[in-house]
Structure 1
Amino acid sequence: SRAPPLLKLSRVEELPPFNLCAAFNLDVENPTVYSGPNGSYFGYSVEFYLTNSSSVSVVIGAPKANTSQRNITEGGSVYYCPWSLGQSECHDIEFDNQGDRTVTLNNTDHQAEVKSHQWFGATVRSHGDTILACAPLYSWRTKEDIPQSDFTGTCYLSVKNFTKFVEYAPCRTEFINEGGQGYCQGGFSADFTKDGKVVLGGPGSFFWQGQVISAAKEEIIKAYYPGYFMQSVEGQIQTRQAQLKYDDSYRGKTFPLIILPLPLLSTHAGFLCGLLESELRLGNVTTVLLTQETMADLLVGAPMYMTRGSDSRLEEVGRMYVYLQRGPLDLEPTLNLTGTQVFGRFGSTIAPLGDLNQDEYNDVAISCPFGGDDQQGLVLIYNGFAGGLRDTPSQVIAGQWASGTVPASFGFALRGAKDLDMNGYPDLIVGAFGVDKTVLYRSRPIVNTSASLTVYPTMINPEEKSCSVNNGNTTIPVSCVNLSFCLSANGKYLPDNLDFQVEVQLDRLKHKQKGGVKRALFVDSQQTVLTRSVRVRNRERVCHDTKIYLRDDKEFRDKLSSIYISLNFSLDPQAAFDSHGLRPILNYQSTELIEQKAQILLDCGEDNICVPDLKLAVHGDRKEAYLGDDNSLTLTFNARNEGEGGAYEAELYVVLPPEADYSGIARNNELTCSYETENQTRYLSCDLGNPMKSGTSLWAGLRFTVPRLKDTRKTVQFELQIRSKNENNSHSEVVPYKLEVVVQADVILQGVSRPDKVFFPPPNWKVSKSPQVEQDIGPAVQHVYELVNKGPSGISHTVLQLRCPLSVQRQSLLYPLEISTEGPLNCTTNHSINYMQLKVSNQSLECLLMYDREEAYKGYVLECLARFSVIKMPYAILPKELPSGSKKVGLCAIHPCYQTPLCVTVLLLGFFKRSLPYGTAMEKAQLKPHAASEA
């Protein structure tokens, strides 16, 4: 035969996380759990045993179980578990009740075999009323004079429902040692062909080339003689020893996979090449008719396949290869499924399931025995289809037992494709030998559904009110339309009646919107949801009609978007179990949610589409904002719709800068606004109409303050825009309104003389040649000066200069006695203060008093001049001009020779632009606040 072209490229799929479909039709809620003796590896192999419709059961291998055999330790056993609802008891089958047998050589009895730790039950298969169970680690002495122990393996057949047991050990021959069949381990793998022939794998024969042996069970029964170790079975065929290059091939252990076209077993064999032995170790091979062709296809598990993870390190995840058989031994690789569970050993076991979902394509179970969050093990169900095998599991079954000292190994053994409960659907057995458990999952009947939802007419006219609803004692006319839904169901082996829970929801998307109001209600209930229990006969159709109506348009804003109406249905979870103790399940490929939509009729032409043209103009009552001020601002806007259609849910949208706050609506404006924050952006939305009709021109004003200005930004900006929910031309252009950030301070200098007039000389006053107190030199005069910053901005560095006459015509006029200050002031002078050290009375001076040096003045005018200049302001933004100004304070000197004052001069000058200092020498006082606050 020609070598098949097996090296074609195939599609590689990495499995998604195992939560795509928590459960399909294998009933994971009510499984049957069988338990075996602790530590027996109960569940290492599993099998159905269906002799007839009245007797159904499960057989389970426990290769480390202890039995009643004399002097045998952990010889292994097979358990028979009859099935019925609520039944989970098992008992062992006595295939062999003898201890180790002896053989007589040279008149001496010798132990002929070793049954302890032989792993009987490691392989279990059935066909009709026959069960095949094998012990691959069984060994015998051989008939040589020198004792040897050859691990030939052995098997037993139970025939006619346990009425007879026969042994079948085809590797127990004269071809001993590793070069012959001495290490055969016959029964490591085993199965029945469709016509009942026994097929055994012996991976250790011929220096581990391995071999496959087959014989008819009838011939095995005929050849069996209890006293003979070696038997000749009529018609037995087997693969022969190959060339030395095939040593260590492990033929019969399922890898590197032999494809054996019986009955030409001894002469024809094909090799599947291209897979690394390291990938396939502990792997599994099975055939299944995936497509509707006549030839079976091939599935190969590689549980130790490795791929590179996110950190570029190799990770053992497992893989399964799918080969479709296009012609005799013409295998085309079509799909590679790669596991995602590190060390999960995906692909360890592959089991055909038959047509699990009754879609006429066979399905497959693949185990990942160490996968899952707690390494409890996973079994993944893949459905077949016309192109082979789907790349996504339809169901993932997780083991119930977390990994302990010994992993649970849930899924290490799988068996399917048999209908245990006779409900027309195949079932699945899963072994978990690490916890000595086996689980039977039965298939639930599948319901295929078809549903329809109709709304007519689909356009709701708010002006046509053909229905009415009751509101207390009042009948209200409403706009309504018709709604109907239909539901049909069919499937194989279903009960006559199926109960569904049906839910129809109106305006379904509105519940996802903040503050959304559902616009449609059912006429009968005035509710937005209709829930019904609907009974449908298998293969029939049921329909239901009702009416829905539109709320009054004052109750909602959204008139543009579609009103989505959804129909959702499910099988009634409280429905009774069928005659097999199962509830049907919906086909996961059926559509369970159907949607239709209705529209509100608008005044927008035949296509019901409104196209506005939105324009916006903005004006403000100021262009500057001062640092330190609240900066009240009124923005007046004009919103217009110059389009042909209305703008629905039209709003003025104002984005505030971080420095601003919203104060309210300007007077005489009928406007409704809401102030909100979203993602740290504060905005104002004002209703402009719903709809804002074509030709609308709206004027209104909004009041703000801008109190949180900083000198890091030279401008602040408001952004205004008209927004609507229309599909076309929904927004106006964004209109920015900018304010320039300005530094400005209003600084005032005030001064006063106390007293403001003096009688000179005072009564009874005499000139003292050696004055001691201030009264000795004349009347006291106080000048008080006050520098006030009325803001709004602060100042940080200011100079105050004061000039006063101290003498006239070389005669002393004013004697500088003391300088007193309040506030963060620092004063200096170039003239001696109180140089005669006169005693000062306890009067408190309230401000700064400074005197200039002698200057010539005409007449009796006593006048002081104060000037200030702001040198610096505490901002990164420079002011347009620095504040400065001056103040004159005069004193009226009254002499007895005159009837009127000689002079009274109090001159207050306004602000002046900063100029150079006066040419005359002046005393200076620098006003320096402790911090950059307002002075």
Structure 2
Amino acid sequence: MATMLLYWNWQPMTFCLFLILLTTLSDGFNLDLRTKLIHRGDRKSMFGYDVAMFKNSANGQAGIIEFSLLIGAPKAESGQPGVRRGGAVFRCETKDQRCTKIFFDTAGHARALNGSVLLQIDSKSDQWFGATVVSSKKGDTVLACAPRYTYFYSTFDRKEPVGTCYLAQDNFSSFREYAPCRIETRWGYHRLGSCMAGFSAAISDQENKLYIGAPGAWYWQGSLVMQEIGRDDMVKRTSEGPAYLDDTYMGYSMAVGDFKGNSGNHVAVGVPKGNFLTGMVVLFDSNLKVLRNITGHQVGSYFGAALAVGDFNDDGLDDIVIGAPLFIGMENKQLDKSQTEGKYEVGAVYVYFQDRQHRFVKYTTLVGLKEWSRFGHDVAAVIYAKDIDPSLRTFGWSVTGGVDIDNNDYPDVLVGAYSSDRSGSSGCFCILLIWKISFVGFFEQKMLHDFRLIVSLDPKKGISSRARFLESHSVTQLTLDSVPIRKGERWCERRYVYVLDDIRDKLSPIIVQVNYSIVDEGYMERQLRPVMDAYLPSMISGEINIQKDCGKDNICIPDLQMTAKLNRESILIGADDRFNVSVVIHNALEDAFEAQFFIVAPVGLDYEGFTRQMPSRPITCSQPKELNNGKNYVIACDVGNPLPKSSTVRFSMQFSTENLDLVMGGIRYPEMNRITMTLTTVEMILFLTIRNLGPSTLSEMSVDVYWPSYFVDNAKPLLYLIDDIETEGKITCELLQKGHINSEGLIVVPRPEDAIERVFRVKRQEKANSRQRYEEKSDVLKALRNAMALMKQSLGDFGNAFGQMRNVLQRVRLNCMEMACSQWQCKIKDFKKDERVLLKVDSRLWLNTLIDEVFYDAMISSLVIVEVTKLPYKHPTIELPLRYAVASTIVNPKDPTRVSRGVPTWLIFVAILAGLTSLILLIMLLWKFGFFKRKRPPRGQALLSKPPEPEYYGYSSYSSAQTPVTNRHYHLTAPTKV
């Protein structure tokens, strides 16, 4: 369904609002959103794409004037034979929801003979009839256009969107077509083939002329066509301009008015991409002679996309309203000054006022309130769709007004919302707030309306407000309901307030804020209600400053100087455990408000209190508050609020050390790494802090970090990157070599350091016990061992000293001059004084590379370059500063040949098996050759011959008895891993 909304106007009035300390001057305009009438059309017909008003004589009776609403629906079914979604214009009533379709054209597609064949010569399907609907100021003539109407030229193979319009007169009883670009000899986009006539249009009442915009003519330079009503031969158009005017879209919008003061009808034409994309509006007279140009202010804002003409300052001269829907809000002074980036496509509306010399110099600007809202697409008051119907979409796509629909002497407004298939109209209500009472309009009641006032004291402080109403000591907010504003009278209210004694904030002023609104009660359902101007604040405020001795500028700049001394240089544990901290604070310049002293102490020190050495200066100290998860505590002392200039405060603080613990510790984030073959990588982390010491803010800085990652010749890794750089603060970084981050796809496994340490401790204890069991008890051996140890120590010290000297002399420098480095490019913007940024580079030192390259001593260096590229001010003689820093790490790998290596277990078992096998083979060989057989003498010869010499040890030939042989077991030993 599609919809239309109707609002009735109310009478303008003037009243005065006066409060003690608070004053305001404002004017208001808005619409009564409650008295609305909604019309709905067919779904997806774009009902409400354009709107207009039409005045006719009801029932043919003169003197009785009624209005109808004309609603364009460019995608509606037109009812023409063979035409799909040709578009339509609907005539809707203002008293009920009746709408009827107006048939401007009942014929289907036009046809013509091509030889003996009847062929189609145009297309009315999807022509968007109703995309432009305008009426004359008298309201009796209506022009409706179809800018996408397509014509087939004589060859029938060229189809171009020339556009067409239909004029309706005599209460829609007569219709006439005007297609100014449908000319056989002017085909092509370089002429009039793509002009889309009817994209905009206007009707001149006094001279009976039509003005039709054709933004696609002449390479989309655009063209303005003037056509006299009833005379087809009286046509004028603007000619083609130079090439730099291509794609400027003249004729995108238009409106008629008097721009020369001769009561003639002139026309303003929008050129949204003219003047080198800033946009412009060209003023023509009735003969299409240029009167003057009005140029835009911002590139790409589409200045001139919407136009309206009227007398907005009541001086009798026509003024021009110009829409710029793509305006970016950064240049608007109404925006928050702290905003660093613009609000895109908030839109803007410029109201140019015509002076007595018929110039348009003075103007005012209205800027949209929401990003991407494109305020100014069409000229309108501020009406929120959610106040009408939450389901409305594209509300405000088309707007028209200036006609009194309900005969209450005030013009009404018609608003279209094509995506919601709805359209509506509303009446306006005007209030003028001034200092003294006055009255504008026809309202005869003595009482204007009741107001509700809410007066708040120091609202930003909340319950800690520093002021109170005297009549009620605990009240900081006063509500006044039903405050009447009467004709010819001034309303005034006086209230007394007071300031509390024990306030801390004496620098900032006390704000008195008044919120005012209209009491919306007691109205009937269809009765018009007043509304507030949405462009004016509903709150006014004033300030109460507390008197300070801060000079003419009322800004206090103190100079606090502090000294602190201990009464003892050292503390002997077990002796007197108390000591004092003496503090002296002096203010050398202007008053110091909320001056405080802070002291941070470890938990081992007990705070006992403080002693004032100058009783005339009040000092209060707070109870200790824990910091850093209970590791420290802080004490805050108020030393003056204010602490006057040239004044001094002396006091001492007492501490005791009863619970003092002695803790020793350290952190080694290794500056020197000693590596062995058993390691693969060692963690190497770079922490970098950049701080602006001031005094100026730096608009932009560049930071380049160079990190030695690989050797150039063999691409072996050195400082292997685990992850991208980590940042904190106003800095963004980009790594130029994306492939340097974890190129090997390694997985970082956290080390269980505590468990490893426990294992090593047990192993060391076992070794110590083993050494104690096998210590020799001999004093001589002990003395000899001590002498040998002393000699080894002397030789070792000499060797270490020589080795260190050799390492320094042979130290290899590894930096970005010899290495393939990873580079990060970083940017810092809006770097204020005392701000800082942090950088962290996480990498691993690849130990195998150092061992393979045989580096006994190496210095690895990374480089950081910081350069200021932009300052917040321009000065040709200032040289932008450049700083750099080098971070170096010394690495000393041990000599791999000196590292003790244990014997593998498998080698021990192989040696045992080989020894046993060899022994068995030897025994078998000896047995085979009779090694184990004894030679015995023959019987009877033992006593006759001399005993022979024994041939083998362990055998005797003179003994008949066998001597037992003792088998000796040999144990093979092999080195074991310790």
Give the TM-score normalised by the residue count of structure 1: 0.49
Higher relative contact order (CA 8 A, sep 6+): 2
Q: Which structure carries more helix by proportion?
A: 2
- Rg larger in structure: 1
Q: Which of the two has greater strand per residue?
A: 1
TM-score, normalised to structure 2, is 0.47
